[in-house]
A and B are shown apart, each in its own frame.
Chain A
Amino acid sequence: MTSRPSPPRLASLMTQAPRVRRTPWIALAWLALILLGGVLSAGAALNVPFESLASPSPIHLLGTDLLGRDVGLRLLAGGLRTLRMAAAATMIAAVLGSIWGLVAGHAGGWLEWILVHANDVLLSVPGLVLALVVIAALGQHEATIILAVGLGGVGSYARLARSAAAETSHRSFVLAARALGAGEVRLLQHHVFPNTLEALSAYALLHFGWALVNSASLTFLGLGGAPSIPDWGQMLNESRLVFLGAPWLAAAPGTALALTVLAVQRLGEWIAKP
């Protein structure tokens, strides 16, 4: 604390509250760049070998890897795959978790008790470990990783949806609709769900960042299928052994991953702010 006695600046206290909401142009531009680059590099020959471990140069902007493949091209193509996997996983978590939580929060009573406790079982295993168990059961494919990361996130989504639904279900318009004879399914679908949508969709972006890191972690551990498929986590894993001689190999996917998570978080905060 500062030692000088500060006068009560009530005016500054009053004016401070609503800050101007600035559009996160940098975050949006970065995400657009990754998406566009991924689409444009889709037709490129990714596995053509050049000189092995060439350092960054005008021809290979980000250098080449151990097998002589262009890191820049793989970064662009891999970004799209990583984003796609995380997006699909977020969809699974959002849909399953929302249904689970909304039903629990709206129903109350014994059904809520069962659903909440089943959710506690799910939450007691860390998301990444749950994903590993799913992969152990279903094998190593891209689809399994998506399902694994998705199921790993259902628990936290359900918890959020339940508290949002429990809050909405006691509000007067829901009670009024019930008094008018609306069935429980209709109440849930037309009255509770639309009013929790804002909270649920704001959480989707936060969750997307988590799914991004987790699916990259799984491919980093070598569970992502064939090594010829470009992927950020896999690129980080491949760079591990030659990291000292060729730091650009790790720097490219590592920085890209961190920046993407950062951009997604920023976007989520922007959307969540009223």
Chain B
Amino acid sequence: MSLRTFLWRVLGSLTTLWLVTTLVFFAIRLSHIDPLAALLGQGLASQAQVAEMRAALGLDRPLLQQYALFLSGLARGDLGRSLFDGQPVVRAIAQSLRFTAPLALTAWLLAIALGLTLGSLASRASAWETGRPARWLARLTGAMLILGTSTPVAWSGLLILWAAVPLLTGLRPGPARDVAQLALPALTLGIASGCSLGRVAQAGLSRARREPFFIAARARGIGPLWRLEWSALRTTLAPVISLAGVEAAFLLGGTMVTETLFARPGVGRLLVESILRGDFPLVQAIVALMAGGYALFNLLADVLASSLDPRLREEAE
């Protein structure tokens, strides 16, 4: 990727980010949700108090003026305060990221390892020269991939939790329990992401196994097994890497279902709660974070893919 293309992509990502935040800003404010109506309804505040709070939060100003204030705050790195507890949005998100980031990273690494292994094994089902045991293994892993992509996280997570109960109840608070508390949701997410990565890898690899270059490499007796696998994998890396980028953004944005299931106060959980409470500043900041992560990881994935596969470099220019 040349510098020119790269800069164009960065500019495009920033524009996308701005459009997403603008859309979310207006979508939420044009809705009929009033975060302060709940206070009024429950008798926690009087009419006058609610009007005063509305003025203090700037919610009584014209929409375009609110938008201008939001943009100028954004430029200064000030995303406002949560309507729910008055905490700065940046701090609330940073706190929840402490729970989401380790989970996302573990799950992502697990997904890549699992996806490449299963995908590589499953792709041998269509290779014509493999022996019987390899073919059975390929069918088995292929079935596992299909099962993994069609099982909703809400159900697989419950199953993993159920299987781990004997383990968890025996553990005292300490490092071992911390590891288990991270490992279970990471396993849930890693399996789900890994299986979709694995299916993409499987499709590409089974195509590569029938290509002349692969058969030639085998015929030459090329090195150890991993070198042979790598020669096939290199040609199918582009879709695998770009999906891995999307999955990274998806995992970092927090995964609402898994975090709800395992009671982790991460970004996804924060988003769901903010939406239920009508906490505008938090909702728009989290959605912007997700869109930003998506743009960033997509860009990284494209740079990586084009540096690994020369054919893509020519296409892009």
Interface size on B (CB < 8 Å)? Answer: 55
Nearest CB of chain B from residue A123's CB, rounded to whole Å: 8
Interface contact B152-A133, CB-CB below 8 Å = no
| Contact in complex: B128, A13 (CB < 8 Å) | yes
Q: Are A136 and B275 within 8 A (Cβ)?
A: yes
Nearest-neighbour CB distance to chain B for A132, whole angstroms, equals: 6
Which A residues touch B218, using CB under 8 A? Answer: 1
B140 contact set on A, CB distance < 8 A: none
- The answer, yes or no, to whether A57 is at the interface (CB within 8 Å) is no
Contact: A233 with B154, CB < 8 Å?
A: yes
Interface string of B231-247 (1 = CB under 8 A from A): 00000000000000000
Which residue of A138, A216, A240 is within 8 Å of B152 (Cβ)? A216
CA distance A250 to B151 in the complex (A): 13
Q: How far is the CA of A221 from the CA of B270 in the complex (A)?
A: 12
- A137 close to B (CB within 8 Å): yes
In the complex, are the beta carbons of B155 and A236 less than 8 A apart? Answer: yes
List the A side residues contacting B249 at CB < 8 Å: 126
- What are the interface flags for B269-293 relative to A under an 8 Å C-beta threshold, 1 for contact and 0 otherwise? 0011001101000010001001100
B272 touches A132 (CB 8 A): yes
Would A236 and B158 be within 8 Å (CB), given that A125-B287, A136-B31 are in contact?
yes
Contact yes or no, A2 B134, CB < 8 A: yes
Q: How far is A9 from B130 in the complex, measured between Cα atoms in Å? A: 11
Q: B147 near A135 (CB under 8 angstroms)?
A: no
Residues of B within 8 A of A221 (CB): 256-257, 260, 272
Does B154 contact A236, Cβ atoms closer than 8 Å? yes
Q: Considering only CB atoms, which chain A residue lies closest to B33 in the complex?
A: A136
The answer to whether the Cβ of A195 comes within 8 Å of any Cβ in the partner chain is no
Query: Which chain A residues in 107-165 approach chain B with CB under 8 Å?
Result: 117, 120-121, 124-126, 128-129, 132-139
A124/B294 in contact, CB under 8 A: yes
B74 CB contacts on chain A under 8 angstroms: none
Specify which chain A residues have a CB less than 8 angstroms from the CB of B12 in the assembled complex.
117, 120
Instruction: Write the chain A residue with the least CB distance to B269.
Output: A221
Shortest beta-carbon distance, B171 to chain A, in Å? Answer: 16
**CA of A124 to CA of B134 in the docked complex: distance in angstroms?**
40
CA distance A221 to B23 in the complex (A): 24
**B50 at the A/B interface (Cβ < 8 Å)?**
no
**B27 x A137 contact (CB < 8 A):** yes
| Known A1-B228, A133-B287, A138-B31: A121·B19 in contact at CB below 8 Å | yes
Q: How far is the CB of A89 from chain B (nearest CB, A)?
A: 15
A209 to B151: give the CA distance in the assembly, Å. 11
A89 CA to B287 CA, complexed, in Å: 22
Q: A125-B287, A128-B256 are in contact. Are A240 and B24 (CB under 8 A)?
A: no
Indicate whether B161 reaches chain A with its CB closer than 8 angstroms.
Answer: yes
Nearest-neighbor residue (CB-CB) of A269 within chain B: B146
State whether A9 touches B272 (Cβ < 8 A). Answer: no
Query: Whole-angstrom distance between the alpha carbons of A222 and B272 in the complex?
Result: 10
- B28 contacts A133, C-beta separation under 8 Å: yes
Q: Does B170 contact A (CB under 8 A)?
A: no
B84 interfacial contact with A, CB 8 Å: no
Interface residue from B150, B165, B257 paired with A217 (Cβ < 8 Å): B257
Shortest distance in angstroms between B161's beta carbon and chain A's nearest beta carbon?
7
Judge whether A36 is part of the interface by a CB distance below 8 angstroms: no
> Is A228 interfacial (CB 8 A cutoff)?
no
Minimum CB–CB distance for B101 against chain A, Å? 17
A258 within 8 A of B: yes
B291 touches A125 (CB 8 A): yes
B291 nearest in chain A by CB position? A124
Q: Does A271 contact B (CB under 8 A)?
A: no
Decide yes or no whether A75 CB sits under 8 A from chain B.
no
* CB-contacts of A195-230 with B (<8 A): 209, 213, 216-217, 220-222
Let me know if A257 is at the binding interface, CB within 8 A. yes
* Residues on B with beta carbons closer than 8 Å to the beta carbon of A250: 155, 158
Verify A124–B295 contact, CB threshold 8 A: yes
Q: Is A12 an interface residue (CB 8 A)?
A: yes
Q: Does B67 contact A (CB under 8 A)?
A: no
A220: B residues at CB distance < 8 A: 154, 257, 260
Closest residue of chain A to B295 (Cβ to Cβ) is A124
Q: How far is the CB of B235 from chain A (nearest CB, A)?
A: 18
Q: Mark A226-263, 1 if CB is under 8 A from B, else 0.
A: 00000001001101100110010010011101100110
10 smallest CB-CB distances across A and B, nearest first, come from: A254-B155, A137-B31, A261-B150, A136-B275, A262-B150, A2-B131, A258-B151, A124-B291, A124-B294, A137-B27
Interface residue ranges, A against B (CB under 8 Å): 1-2, 4, 6, 9, 12-13, 16, 117, 120-121, 124-126, 128-129, 132-139, 209, 213, 216-217, 220-222, 233, 236-237, 239-240, 243-244, 247, 250, 253-255, 257-258, 261-262, 265
Given contacts A133-B275, A236-B158, 14 further A-B contacts (CB under 8 A): A1-B130, A1-B225, A4-B131, A124-B295, A126-B253, A126-B294, A133-B287, A136-B278, A137-B30, A217-B152, A236-B155, A250-B158, A261-B150, A262-B150
